[in-house]
Amino acid sequence: MYAIPLGDDGAELRPLEVWHAEEVLANIDRGREFIGRHVGLPDVVSDLDGARGWLTSYAEKRAADGGSLHGIWLDGTLVGGLLFRVWDTPSGVCEAGCWLEPAAAGRGLVTRGMRTLLDWAFEERGMHRVEWHVSSANEPSINVARRLGMTREGVLRENYPHRGERTSTEIWSVLGPEWREARARTAHAAP
Ligand SMILES: CC(C)(COP(=O)(O)OP(=O)(O)OC[C@H]1O[C@@H](n2cnc3c(N)ncnc32)[C@H](O)[C@@H]1OP(=O)(O)O)[C@@H](O)C(=O)NCCC(=O)NCCS
């Protein structure tokens, strides 16, 4: 299986596929409460069948060039993932998302992994705009959007019913030319 190293701490990005269902369920079980605070993923991955069904839906998206899923492994354990929930090649617009189990948070895994995927989306796949939809109460995820150089565009007020409450969704995005400019600045600043 091919893997992309995310640094020198044993973190790797790999495609997440249907045969990973047990690993995904174990990962979600370790983070069920933490991950479920703002997103519905733990409710979908409620058991092994749920994990398989969800992974199958992404395998179908990948086959139709309509989305994709990658896992983040740390020292051989699946600790989270990155997804393109929406991918529309004709318009050049996609929407990215992420999750981590709590023990893997605070190490930059999602930011590092998303940088790799944004390079791929903009440079190899010619996308123009990557969106990030995030609950306005989800400060860690908003910080990821900021670290990726995204711009906050607006708020969909109380659009998302989650666990008995209506929450608001912030839309953030980064455009291809902005990404390239930021990458060039970073490369220029490197010693
Ligand atoms: C959203 C979520 C993935 C953010 O996790 P995170 O660990 O804060 O994000 P990253 O992996 O990018 O790590 C950033 C943190 O690592 C630190 N860090 C360490 N090394 C780093 C590096 N090389 N690069 C970037 N950040 C680094 C950062 O300072 C930051 O810590 P801080 O917030 O205490 O300042 C996590 O909170 C989560 O899974 N939540 C539940 C699911 C969810 O809400 N998903 C998002 C839906 S929109």
174 pLDDT more than 70: yes
pLDDT at 132: 98
pLDDT recorded at residue 191: 61
Q: Is the pLDDT of residue 44 over 70?
A: yes
Is the pLDDT at 72 greater than 90? The verdict is yes
- Fill in the amino acid letter for 182: A
Q: Cα of 147 to ligand 1 centre, how many Å?
A: 9
Q: Rounded to 5 degrees, what angle do the CA atoms 88, 122, 139 make?
A: 85
- The alpha carbon of 80 is separated from its chain's Cα centroid by a whole number of angstroms, namely 9
**Average pLDDT, integer, range 58-70:** 98
Q: In what side-by-side order are the strands of the sheet with 11-15?
A: 4-5, 11-15, 68-74, 77-88, 93-100, 129-135, 165-175, 151-162
Residue 60: Cβ-neighbour burial (10 angstroms; 0-12, 13-18, 19+):
exposed
Find out whether the beta carbon of 96 lies less than 6 Å from any atom of ligand 1. no
Q: Give yes or no for residue 106 CB within 6 A of ligand 1.
A: yes
The percentage of residues in the chain with a pLDDT greater than 70, rounded to a whole number, is 98
186 has a pLDDT exceeding 90: no
Q: Is 11 a pocket residue for ligand 1 (Cβ < 6 Å)?
A: no
Q: What is the CATH number of domain 4-189?
A: 3.40.630.30
For atom 21 of ligand 1, the residue with the nearest CA is 108
Amino acid 24: pLDDT: 98
Query: Domain coordinates of the chain in residue numbers?
Result: 4-189
- pLDDT for residue 187: 81
Report, as an integer, the average pLDDT of 78-89: 98
Return the pLDDT at 2: 87
pLDDT of residue 45: 98
Q: Residue 116 phi/psi, 5° resolution?
A: -65, -45
What are the DSSP calls for 96-163, one per residue? EEEEE-GGGTTSSHHHHHHHHHHHIIIIIS---EEEEEEETT-HHHHHHHHHTT-EEEEEEEEEEEET
pLDDT digits (tens, 9 = 90+) for 27-37: 999 999 999 99
Looking at residues 126-132, what average pLDDT do you find?
98
Report how far ligand 1's centroid is from the alpha carbon of 48 (Å): 27
